[in-house]
Amino acid sequence: MKIIVAKSAGFCFGVDKAVNNVYDLLDKNEENICTLGPIIHNDQVVNDLKARGVNVITDISEALPEGKVVIRTHGVTPDIYEKLAEHNLEAIDATCPYVKKIHNLVKKKYDEGYKIIIAGDADHPEVKGINGWCNNSAYIADSPEDVDKIPVIGAECCIVAQTTITKEKWDSINIRLQNKCKNLIKFDTICNATSSRQSEAEKIAKAADVMIVVGSKSSSNTQKLYEISKIHCPRTYNIETFGDLPPIDITDIEILGITAGASTPDVIIKEVLEKMEELNKQENEMNSNEMNFKEAFESSLVTLQSGEIVKGKIIGFNNAEIYVDLGYKSDGIIAMSEYSDDPDFKPEAHLKAGDEIEVYIVRVNDGEGSVQLSKKKVDSMRSIDDIEEAFENKTTVTAKVTEVTNGGLIASAKGVRIFIPASQISDRYVKDLGEYLRRTVKVRIVEFNKQKRKIVGSQKVILAEEKERSGNEFWDNVEAGRKYEGAVKSLMDFGAFVDIGGVDGLVHVSELSWNKVKHPSEVLKVGDLINVTVLEFDREKKRISLGYKKSEDNPWIKAAEKYKVGDLVKGKVVRLVPFGAFVELEKGIDGLVHISQISNMRIAKPGDVLSIGQDVEAKVVEFNLEAKKISLSIKEATPIDTVQPVTEAKADEKGQAEAEEIIPDIALPIEHKEEMTNTIGDAISGLGKISAEQDNEKGQDNEKEQDNGKGQDNEKEQENENK
């Protein structure tokens, strides 16, 4: 089999640039990165970026504050750039240069008064982006039939093409437009790389017996390649990975063609090529072995080969051979390799002298006067009909894996050799086939050739059916609050994905523990079996939100039993805010001391008398379990008083001193001078007392305003802290 790979297969320069832009941001340890829609139509690349923290958003409002938004190769409408600026987001514009050129062209002609027509798929993001540059006023046609829906246009018209549209479709649309537009100018904006890729695919498909198109089924350019190849090569397959390739008989393939869409990474193309080369090599080896066996078999027919099936009794055995009494002058010998394909077969456990068995006579005389026998041959002949029936009825066959090859597995079902291609072993990519050795598997026979003794099985189709069945059953019975046991499949920064019976659900990081968790790996590891509860689900989108933390572990439940109003408690100051201080009583439980509850005296800010890490004693004045809030008072336990009030004695002393400064040193009798000084001093002292009282009243009013103004902030702050 000759394999031809298209030179143009894989990333175009625009896609390559866009993907590299994202990976460059990751290499620079940039944060809050997201892409507006999938960066390319390839799940493997998109999932890899997601695993590394790059989110896919569908609207600008979903981006994180001050984040970086990568605009994919398809381009966007002008209002997207405006929204990015309004939300203070940095735009990384990875729009394909060919697409950007169409944007500028459409805007220019629209401003000049032309009516815009776009040849392409109206639902494709590239076409939607182009339409935005003419105020979404364009007529869009993806086929000549769509042109019939366009009214006759008297004004000047301008037509452009989606970059991935085929040349044939572009020409047919323009021919039909001649009856709709009198003044039409055409701009063939099909990407040169796209045209070359499509031409090369057509050339290879014309020569190939089988054509493989690698790429996402949601990729426009990949689907165009598939359509072109299918026209010239009926046996054309569109696969996203090698595991999607259905069973094919490569014995009748002389030329195999491989191409790939512009969104297909080189690593996937390389994997498909390597796997096909392995299958080709294996087929050549199998053909060689079959020819050698055929020559040996035909040679034995010339001698004493009987080919009969007879009965005999086991008379003895060792680790290499089994001796059988056939009732003839010579005993029969079965080599252990001809008794069973089961790698776990043990003679001492499965054989017993005197047991009667059926055997196939390979040779009457093996050169030493003994009869060469085979039990596997009998088993194979007896069960081949059962395998054929299973193939026709599409029933399941149980087999044991006996050998691992480059292209897949060899399994035995009652002596019948079944080949399981690597692509049909599982519904996921299997890196190490060795993990299946000696395992029992259930397969569906997908190819059966009795004459060539070629039987191909697939476990993948059974797994897919079971997954679909269990998934349908799950969605029919799922309800909020229902509990499941599941296995942790993967860990992301935002949570853990758990398999709960063929369906994956997400446990958000906030639902893993009552305490703060920075990463799910602090609580779980991949492979853990855990019990989860369904919080909410969306049947249409197939999304499930799960909860892992248990209500009985809620620290606030225990705190409600431990801390009562009026209790004196000890804690440590962990945060200071303008309206008070948060005191940690135990891990996960913080109480708030309002600024008015710190000291009997008025203070400007909590930091005047408290510091982070300071141990304090306080009194519980309020406990709200529902709101997860504890209010504490230090001043009712051990008040921190650092400000001294103005006393009446000090006011008298101050008034007397000021009075002596006011009264001039004049010639008055001593008794009159003392009397005047006392009188003025009393007056000043009185004013001082009034001022002190006013200050105290003002301070109380300020405290009340502070209490009233910051009470709600206090509750919100503590609620946020608790969360």
Q: At the topology level of CATH, where does 98-190 sit? A: Cobalt-precorrin-4 Transmethylase; domain 1 (3.40.1010)
Q: At the topology level of CATH, where does 304-378 sit? A: OB fold (Dihydrolipoamide Acetyltransferase, E2P) (2.40.50)
* Cα 657 from Cα 677, distance rounded (Å): 9
Cα dist from 672 to 485, 661, 662, 669, 675, whole Å? 100, 16, 15, 5, 5
SS3 460: helix
pLDDT at residue 577, rounded to an integer: 92
Q: Which of 31, 62, 66, 126 is catalytic?
A: 126
For the domain covering 194-281, report its CATH number: 3.40.1010.20
Hey, where are the domains in the chain? 98-190, 194-281, 304-378, 394-464, 478-553, 555-633, 648-722
DSSP codes joined into one string, 413-449:
ETTEEEEEEGGGS-SS--S-GGGGTT-EEEEEEEEEE
Is 194-281's fold the same as 478-553's? no
- 184-236 pLDDT, tens digit each: 888 888 887 777 788 889 999 999 999 999 988 888 888 889 999 999 999 99
> Who's near 593: CB < 8 A, 6+ residues apart?
580, 581, 582, 583, 606, 616, 618, 631, 632, 633, 634
Beta strand pairing status for 440-449 and 454-458? antiparallel
Residue 641 in tokens: 């008083």
For the domain covering 478-553, report its CATH number: 2.40.50.140
pLDDT at residue 5, rounded to an integer: 87
* Cα 195 from Cα 177, distance rounded (Å): 22
Torsion, Cα of 140, 143, 146, 152 (10° steps): 80
pLDDT at residue 299, rounded to an integer: 43
Residue 392 is among the residues annotated as catalytic for this protein: no
pTM of the model: 0.38
- 239-258 pLDDT, tens digit each: 888 878 887 777 778 899 99
Instruction: Output 714 or 588, whichever has higher pLDDT.
Output: 588
Q: Please tell me which of 108-112, 263-267, 297-301, 305-309 the model is most confident about, judged by mean pLDDT.
A: 108-112
Handedness of CA 564, 570, 573, 578 (dihedral sign): positive
Residue 677 in tokens: 């000084």
- 369-402 pLDDT, tens digit each: 678 888 888 877 777 888 888 898 889 999 899 8
- 545-574 pLDDT, tens digit each: 998 887 767 777 778 888 888 889 999 999
For the domain covering 555-633, report its CATH number: 2.40.50.140
List, in sequence order, every residue forming a beta bridge with 160; answer none if it has no partner.
Answer: 118, 187
Q: Which CATH superfamily is domain 394-464 in?
A: Nucleic acid-binding proteins (2.40.50.140)
Instruction: Output 443 or 292, whichever has higher pLDDT.
Output: 443
Residue 370 in tokens: 């003994």
Whether pLDDT at 538 is above 80: yes
pLDDT at residue 366, rounded to an integer: 54
